[in-house]
Amino acid sequence: MSRKETAATDRGDAQIVLAQFQSADGDKTGPPLSLAADITAEQLSILINKFLENEETHPYSFYVGEKEVVRSIQTDILESDGRSAEETLVIEYRPQAFFKVRAVTRCSSSLTGHTEAVLSVSFSPDGTQLASGSGDTTVRIWDLDTETPRFTCSGHRNWVLSIAWSPDGKVLASGSMDNTVRLWDPQTGKPIGGALAGHRKWITALAWEPAHVSTSTSRLASSSKDGTVRVWDVVRGRCLFTLASHTAAVTCVKWGGDGRIYTGSQDKTIKIWNTDGSLHRTLMGHAHWVNTLAFSTDHVLRTGAYDHTGKEPADRDEAQKMALKRYNESKGKGPERLVSGSDDFTMFLWDPLNSTKPIARLTGHQKVVNHVSYSPDGRLIASASFDNSVKLWDGLTGKFIASLRGHVAAVYQVCWSADSRMLLSASKDSTLKIWDLRTKKMKLELPGHADEVFTVDWSPGGDRVVSGGKDRVLKIWKH
């Protein structure tokens, strides 16, 4: 302890620290300040709102290095992190979501109807519609107001493996074990045109062109076990082009915010494709199958023009403008980042458009990484693994943050609350668990399913969670 600190402690005065505010992009804000060391996060929030001249008070979280200021600088930084009061502390402020999502605590409905396992569930981009795909070959659309079945969409001849809503919520696509993709009108439950046929094996994933890239939601990409990706014109019902450079099954397809298509495959590579179907580049590094891909902008790519307020755009042009504005805000100054999870137990963090070398290799899981997901604010990555754990990583650097332990069997899927403050995991152990990101501990356990939970989704507005699995029941959870 220095003489200055001893004197301060003897007098019972608060210690003084030198501090400089800095944005997440590294821009300095305001002059260097002399602050009392016992200053709390709430008081820092008042200060930064003054410096930024915000008309309304914005919520922020504050970090010195990797450490968050939860209580005060004295407790969290000087005492527990062992920082000296002599050095200038750079306090990074990160904006948080205006709205707060409440944790879901109870099962409000158990929706029966599917006669085989529920394999995928998904809320529409505006959160007003819900769909599920099942091993019983049907897609079901559910009424969220009454929490009852609305339509059963029949047509597939084998398991429905994946479903995807168009960015405007007007079309629902489903991909099946019967090698076809089908399109449905969610307002009537009727098919739109015939089956989109062409793949020689089953469909593994679906991705729509993002709302801000094009005004018409007319292009859909489907990846298949046959090693190809087909891009469809859904209005005309025909295949525009086929992406065929992978030498094994394509496990996932994503349509990036830059307009390019990204695919992960069992040939251990990730490929990036231009919108005319030509190959842009290949990302190599994984030692086994690539299972899952996630973008730092995924939440905005999924919700398009719809934010948590649920405001409806007037027309397609306005929807595109709103979606572009939200995309640019989400992306910030940095590039769009991609994370990949693999059967080699590792993940890679990429800056895919600027480099074929990964930013970081994320190691720590002891078994297959089944699913990765970026938080809506792009700051954290969550990974679900067959080693029964969920791990958290820094979304910018890939640095390991914490392991969330509590599941007693493989974790199949994770999903975030829209405000990035909570994480939900679904497991083979038949439970869902909600994790608090501030404490990095389990907030709630949601038992109720009679068997493995395969799929889970949190509505974009944050008011509902839906889960489905082997017990053939869809459960809706609310606060």
Counting residues of the chain whose pLDDT is more than 70, the rounded percentage is 97
SS3 assignment for 393-423:
EECCCCCEEEEEECCCCCEEEEEECCCCCEE
CB 22 within 8 Å of CB 28: yes
Per-residue confidence (pLDDT) for residue 14, from 0 to 100: 67
Minimum mean pLDDT among 103-107, 389-393, 448-452, 469-473: which range? 103-107
Exposed/middle/buried for residue 266 (C-beta within 10 Å: 0-12, 13-18, 19+): buried
Confidence of residue 52 (pLDDT cuts 50, 70, 90): confident
Exposed/middle/buried for residue 133 (C-beta within 10 Å: 0-12, 13-18, 19+): buried
Residue 154 Cα distances to 114, 117, 157, 229, angstroms = 12, 16, 9, 24
For the four alpha carbons of 430, 435, 440 and 443, in that order, the dihedral sign comes to negative
Say yes or no to pLDDT of 3 above 70: no
Per-residue confidence (pLDDT) for residue 13, from 0 to 100: 59
Minimum mean pLDDT among 86-95, 168-177, 182-191, 199-208: which range? 86-95
Average pLDDT rounded to a whole number, residues 66-80: 83
Q: How much helix, strand and coil, in percent to the nearest 5, is found in the chain?
A: 10, 40, 50
Average pLDDT rounded to a whole number, residues 462-476: 94
| Residue from 433, 322, 332 nearest 388 by CA | 433
Confidence of residue 315 (pLDDT cuts 50, 70, 90): confident
Helix ranges (H only) for 184-341 are 298-303, 316-331
Minimum mean pLDDT among 53-57, 182-186, 385-389: which range? 53-57
Look at 391 and 59; give whichever has higher pLDDT.
Answer: 391
Say yes or no to pLDDT of 293 above 50: yes
Per-residue confidence (pLDDT) for residue 272, from 0 to 100: 97
Please list, residue by residue across 448-469, b when 16 or more beta carbons sit within 10 angstroms of its beta carbon and e when fewer do. Answer: bbeebbbbbbbbbbbbbbbbbb
Provide the mean pLDDT of the chain: 90
Render pLDDT for 362-408 as a digit per residue (tens, 0 to 9): 999 999 999 999 999 999 999 999 999 999 999 999 999 999 999 99
Per-residue confidence (pLDDT) for residue 305, from 0 to 100: 86
CB 146 within 8 Å of CB 166: no
Place of tokens 């409806």: 312
Structure tokens at 115: 């006669």
For the four alpha carbons of 74, 80, 86 and 89, in that order, the dihedral sign comes to negative
Render pLDDT for 200-234 as a digit per residue (tens, 0 to 9): 999 999 999 999 988 776 899 999 999 999 999 99
Counting residues of the chain whose pLDDT is more than 90, the rounded percentage is 66
Per-residue confidence (pLDDT) for residue 217, from 0 to 100: 67
For the four alpha carbons of 148, 465, 319 and 100, in that order, the dihedral sign comes to positive
Per-residue confidence (pLDDT) for residue 59, from 0 to 100: 84
Q: CA 276 to CA 274: how far, in whole Å?
A: 5
| Residue from 423, 455, 462, 477 nearest 164 by CA | 455
Render pLDDT for 114-164 as a digit per residue (tens, 0 to 9): 999 999 999 999 899 999 999 999 999 999 988 889 999 999 999 999 999
Say yes or no to pLDDT of 304 above 50: yes
CA atoms within 13 A on the CB side of 432: 31
Say yes or no to pLDDT of 113 above 70: yes
| Residue from 353, 354, 337, 362 nearest 286 by CA | 362
CB 125 within 8 Å of CB 460: yes
pTM to 2 decimal places = 0.87
SS3 assignment for 65-123:
CCEECCCEHHHHHHHCCCCCCCCCEEEEEEECCCCCCCCCCEEEEEECCCCCCEEEEEE
Q: CA 29 to CA 48: how far, in whole Å?
A: 8
Per-residue confidence (pLDDT) for residue 11, from 0 to 100: 39
Average pLDDT rounded to a whole number, residues 57-67: 84
Say yes or no to pLDDT of 165 above 70: yes
